[in-house]
Amino acid sequence: MTNLKENLLNALNGQPVSKIPVVSMTQTGTVELMDAVNAPWPDSQANAKMMADLAIAGHELAGLEAVRLPYCLTVLAEAMGCGVNMGTKNRQPSVIAHPYEKPEMLDSVVKPDLKTAGRIPAVIEAIKMARERIGPDVPIIAGMEGPITLASDLCSVKSFMKWSIKNPDALSKCIKFATDAAVEYANLMVEAGADIVCIADPVCSPDLMSPQDFKDKLMGSIVEFADNVKAPVVFHVCGNVTAILNDMADCHCKGLSVEEKVTDVVGAVELTKGRSVIIGNVSSPFVLLSGDAAKVEEAVKSALDSQVAILAPGCGIAPMTPLANIKAMVASRDKFA
C-alpha cells in the first residue's frame, strides 16, 4: 500500500494509484480552519508557526491528502520590492505598488537575497515545521505566484500589457528577471521539504493574454521554470484555458490545474495525455463555497467520471468555504473512486 506522498507523486507521473488523490493545489486557508487552530489571516500569512498550523489543519481537520502552503500570490513579489496590502481574515494579500513600472527602471534591477527577504524566511520555516510534524509520508505542496504573474506584479499589469505590444525587449527583460527569482524561491522551498511546487499564473489566462501571445511570449518562461525547479511542478491558470491547454501541456509541468470553466475535461485529459495530467476541477465558488453536500458529491462524481488524475478544487478555496463541504469532497472521492 502506497503512502499519501507516493500516491500523489504516482498520480502526477501518470502511474497507477491506490486511489485518486484528493488535495488542493491552490490555497487552503479557511476561516473555520483559522478559528480551529488559532491561526487567522493576516497573522498566519507571516508567522511561521501559524502558517504551518493552518496548513496542517487542511490535512488533519479537512481530510485533504497533502499539506499546502502558503496562502497568497504575493510572497515573492513582496520580497522583490512590490508593495503589498496584507488583507484581512477573509481576504488574501494583494500587490498594490510596483517597483519597475517604466522600462528604464529595468536597467537597475536588483534581486535581493531571497533567503532573508520579506516573508520568505517564514515560509521556509513553516515548511520545515510542517515536515517535522507530519512526517515523511504526507506530501507538502508549496504554492507561489508563477513567473509571468510575478513579472506583471513587478512592472504592473498595465505596463506588462503595453510592453507585450510596444516594447518586447522590456517585456522579455522583466520576465527573465522574474523567472530567475521564481526558480530560486521555488528551490528554497523544495530544499526546506516541499515535494511539489504549484505555480498559479493568472496573467497567462486567455482572459488577459491572447493564446498566440501565450505561445510566443510567455510559455518559454514556464518551461524554463519547470526545467530548473528540483521537484514536480503543477501549473494553474485561472479561467477557461481550453484555448491554451495544448501549449500548457508542452510546458514540462507534471500537472495542469484547471477550473470548472474548462467544461470538456474528458477532452482535456485526452489532449494532454502523456505530457501532463489534469487536476481539478470542483468549483471553488459555486460548489465548495456556496453549495451543499449533494452539490459537492455531484461535482466530484463529474470530475472523477472525466478521469482527472487528481481531484482538487478548481481554484483557491474561498476563505468562507464551510469545512463540511471540503470534508464532503473527500467523502465523495471515497464513495466514487
State how far the Cα of 301 lies from the Cα of 305, in Å rounded to an integer. 6
Is it the case that residue 57 has pLDDT exceeding 90? yes
- Cell numbers 487552530 label which residue? 37
Q: Which amino acid is at 242?
A: T
Residue 28 is part of which domain span?
A: 4-336
pLDDT in tens, 159-195: 999 999 999 999 999 999 999 999 999 999 999 999 9
State how far the Cα of 4 lies from the Cα of 312, in Å rounded to an integer. 15
pLDDT at 93: 98
- Cell numbers 463541504 label which residue? 325
Is it the case that residue 45 has pLDDT exceeding 90? yes
- Structure letter (DSSP) for residue 285: I
Cell numbers standing for residue 25: 493545489
Q: E strands of 149-232, at which residues?
A: 196-200
Mean pLDDT, residues 65-69 taken together: 98
Is it the case that residue 158 has pLDDT exceeding 90? yes
pLDDT at 299: 97
pLDDT at 175: 98
- The pTM of this model reads 0.97
pLDDT in tens, 135-156: 999 999 999 999 999 999 999 9
Band the pLDDT of 89: cuts 50, 70, 90: very high
Mean pLDDT, residues 247-262 taken together: 98
The closest of 220, 244, 99, 238 to 159, measured between CA atoms, is: 99
Band the pLDDT of 220: cuts 50, 70, 90: very high
pLDDT at 1: 77
The closest of 291, 215, 222, 310 to 17, measured between CA atoms, is: 310
Percentage, residues of the chain above pLDDT 90: 99
Mean pLDDT, residues 306-319 taken together: 97
Q: Which amino acid is at 56?
A: I
The closest of 76, 161, 163 to 114, measured between CA atoms, is: 76
pLDDT in tens, 105-119: 999 898 999 999 999
State how far the Cα of 62 lies from the Cα of 166, in Å rounded to an integer. 48
- Structure letter (DSSP) for residue 261: T
| CATH number of the domain to which 312 belongs | 3.20.20.210
pLDDT at 337: 79
- Cell numbers 483557491 label which residue? 316
pLDDT at 289: 98
When divided into structural domains, the chain yields a total of 1
pLDDT at 247: 98
First to last CA, the chain: 16
pLDDT at 202: 96
